[in-house]
A and B are shown apart, each in its own frame.
Chain A
Amino acid sequence: MKLELARCIKLHEDKVWSLDFSRGLLASGSTDRRTKIVSIKPEAQVTLVDELDDSTHSKSVRSVAWRPGTSILATGSFDTTVSIWTREETEEGEEYDSEEDEASREYSNSNHDNKYVMELLAIIEGHENEVKSVAWSYDGSLLATCARDKSVWIWETDEIGEEYECISVLQEHSQDVKNVVWHPSLPILASSSYDDTIRIWTDYDDDWECSAVLNGHKGTVWSSDFEKSNNNSNIRLCSGSDDCTVRVWKKLNKGEVGTSVKGTDDINDGNANEEEDEEEENDIYDNDDKWICEAILPQEHTRSIYSVSWGPNGMIASAGSDGKLVIYHEVEDKNEKNKMRWEVLCIKELIHGIYECNIVKWIDVEGELLLATGGDDGYVNLWKLI
């Protein structure tokens, strides 16, 4: 398999930091302080549909996130604020339809015929300094934000998305929190930090608590992403770091805590005592979950990994300062049956020319899976795996 460039789009005048794709629309945030929205149709047809009011943020837009199933967008900025945007209902109730005009389907800076106006709905203040990441929970009811002030805030909102109430301030990281990401179908949050750890946060009776600390990376953890699995008893997370490694972490289920240590299923029964001992040793929190580092993926990166994305196809993509895009997949071990191992499927170098890549995301364009990347060159590139 190889990666082929399907489209490259010059969207920004400076670093592209963040991308998010939902319902056919890709939002991008940049150090040029702008947030742009492009529509992506099959065959990688790209059209610029809106540019958010650039007077809202006075510094880099670091993170953008669509609220699931809606036209609401959250953007987090180095200016300490988070802004919330929504699509304005057009008077004619007209939906944007690209089929009417062939020419407008091509990306063009000057073409604003396709009205898609995003209006400012709210500004959320609270963080002391640069906001680094924003993320919506799977049902859209909660927004998580994190900042250099070492904290993660969880905000609750209603259907309209106009009012935000902070329900929790999580302050257990000892350094900047770089990234927050939610599980795709459960109320579980992962935060990655400059303190080299990932923390897992879980809701216990409306009280958000740290349920696990994932130690192992030997440098800033820039990004993490949960596996897109329908099986909620199998929760895994991948992470990328300054230490040039991508790691896969797995939450152990109750029965697995003992067996994983022994590595065989036979010991499972009649060994309750040993499991208890095991738990006592590791218990730090009342509501402790057990996570293990299941795998360190084959090391291909030579500089910081800024972004990882776990695709709905089960593949993990990573990209970073060395300008490489690496795709990994899980295959059955040749020597040991029923054992899976990670292999590199393909690598593409210089994905933004000589510039660094800050973000990679799997995007599903009407059934076709593409990879979107954003670089220091101000470009958003779309890649096809063929």
Chain B
Amino acid sequence: LNSITESTSDEESDENLKSLTQSTHLIQDTIDPIDAQEIYDLTAYIQDPEHPLTLGQLSIVNLEDIQVHDTGNQKEMAEVVIHITPTITHCSLATLIGLGIRVRLERALPPRFRITILLKKGTHQSENQVNKQLNDKERVTAACENEQLLNVVSNMLSTCK
């Protein structure tokens, strides 16, 4: 799934690129950079695993807690850092919510993005533990091979546009 969506977004960017270079002769590898609002729009509609509300509605994802470093150059690495705010400090689903955000962004963003997801400081009793797990590439890969977990994540993402 990951590779399919990645390639789609690549193709889209390629098309953008073509039209840009044909009309204005811009530098070939550069397209519009992705900004925090776009990252917010990608993640705010993810459904909370236990409430019938979205992460945006619950203020788990907030626009001001998203940082993006992107020049728009497709041949350079880019970075997204998102701080999420769990609804309660002992929220047992913080890791799952973080995983949902990561899967959503990995599928939707071009592959140049490195994604860092962190709990907002002081919002969770196991902050460091959750942060470490959410940003461990190997654990995330393994989680995405766990069918049960992937089903839960798919449900969370089913409300995304």
Chain A interface, number of residues (Cβ within 8 angstroms): 30
> Which residues on the A side are within 8 Å of B137 (C-beta)?
304, 306, 321, 356
A194 and B145 in contact (CB under 8 A), knowing A321-B114, A322-B77?
no
> Any chain B CB within 8 A of the CB of A353?
yes
> Any chain A CB within 8 A of the CB of B90?
no
Whether B141 lies near A323 (C-beta < 8 A) is no
Whether A354 lies near B111 (C-beta < 8 A) is yes
> Which residues on the B side are within 8 Å of A78 (C-beta)?
141-142, 145
The interface residues of chain A, by DSSP majority, are classed as loop
Distance of A148 Cα from B139 Cα, bound (Å): 9
Distance of A62 Cα from B138 Cα, bound (Å): 9
Whether A13 lies near B3 (C-beta < 8 A) is yes
Q: C-beta contact mask, A82-126 vs B, less than 8 Å → 1, else 0?
A: 000000000000000000000000000000000000000000000
> Which residues on the A side are within 8 Å of B111 (C-beta)?
354-355, 376-377
Distance of A369 Cα from B92 Cα, bound (Å): 50
Q: C-beta contact mask, A152-171 vs B, less than 8 Å → 1, else 0?
A: 00000000000000000000
Whether B138 lies near A323 (C-beta < 8 A) is no
Whether A323 lies near B77 (C-beta < 8 A) is yes
Q: C-beta contact mask, B111-127 vs A, less than 8 Å → 1, else 0?
A: 11010000000000000
> Any chain B CB within 8 A of the CB of A209?
no
Q: C-beta contact mask, A305-321 vs B, less than 8 Å → 1, else 0?
A: 01000000000000001
> Any chain A CB within 8 A of the CB of B75?
yes
Q: C-beta contact mask, A1-40 vs B, less than 8 Å → 1, else 0?
A: 0000000000001110000000000000001000000000
Identify B132's interface contact among A130, A220, A355, CB under 8 A: A220
Q: Tell me the minimal C-beta distance from A163 to chain B in angstroms.
A: 29
Q: Tell me the minimal C-beta distance from A375 to chain B in angstroms.
A: 11
> Any chain B CB within 8 A of the CB of A236?
no
Q: Tell me the minimal C-beta distance from B30 to chain A in angstroms.
A: 14
> Any chain A CB within 8 A of the CB of B11?
no
Whether B77 lies near A354 (C-beta < 8 A) is yes
A354 and B76 in contact (CB under 8 A), knowing A60-B145, A194-B132, A321-B114?
yes
Distance of A322 Cα from B74 Cα, bound (Å): 15
Whether A14 lies near B3 (C-beta < 8 A) is yes
Whether B74 lies near A354 (C-beta < 8 A) is yes
Distance of A321 Cα from B139 Cα, bound (Å): 15
Q: Tell me the minimal C-beta distance from A156 to chain B in angstroms.
A: 28
Q: Tell me the minimal C-beta distance from B142 to chain A in angstroms.
A: 5
> Which residues on the A side are within 8 Å of B74 (C-beta)?
354
Identify A303's interface contact among B2, B3, B114, B139, CB under 8 A: B114
Whether B145 lies near A353 (C-beta < 8 A) is no
**Chain A interfacial positions (CB closer than 8 Å to B):** 13-15, 31, 59-60, 62, 78, 129-130, 132, 148, 176, 178, 194, 219-220, 303-304, 306, 321-323, 350, 353-356, 376-377
A sample of 27 inter-chain contacts (CB < 8 A) reads: A13-B3, A14-B3, A15-B141, A59-B145, A60-B141, A62-B138, A78-B141, A78-B142, A132-B138, A148-B139, A176-B138, A176-B139, A178-B138, A194-B132, A219-B132, A220-B132, A220-B136, A303-B114, A321-B114, A321-B137, A322-B77, A350-B75, A354-B75, A354-B76, A354-B112, A355-B111, A356-B137
User: 7 extra interchain contacts, Cβ-Cβ under 8 A, other than A62-B138, A148-B142, A219-B132?
Assistant: A14-B3, A78-B141, A176-B139, A178-B138, A321-B137, A353-B75, A356-B137
**Chain B interfacial positions (CB closer than 8 Å to A):** 2-3, 74-77, 111-112, 114, 132, 136-139, 141-142, 145
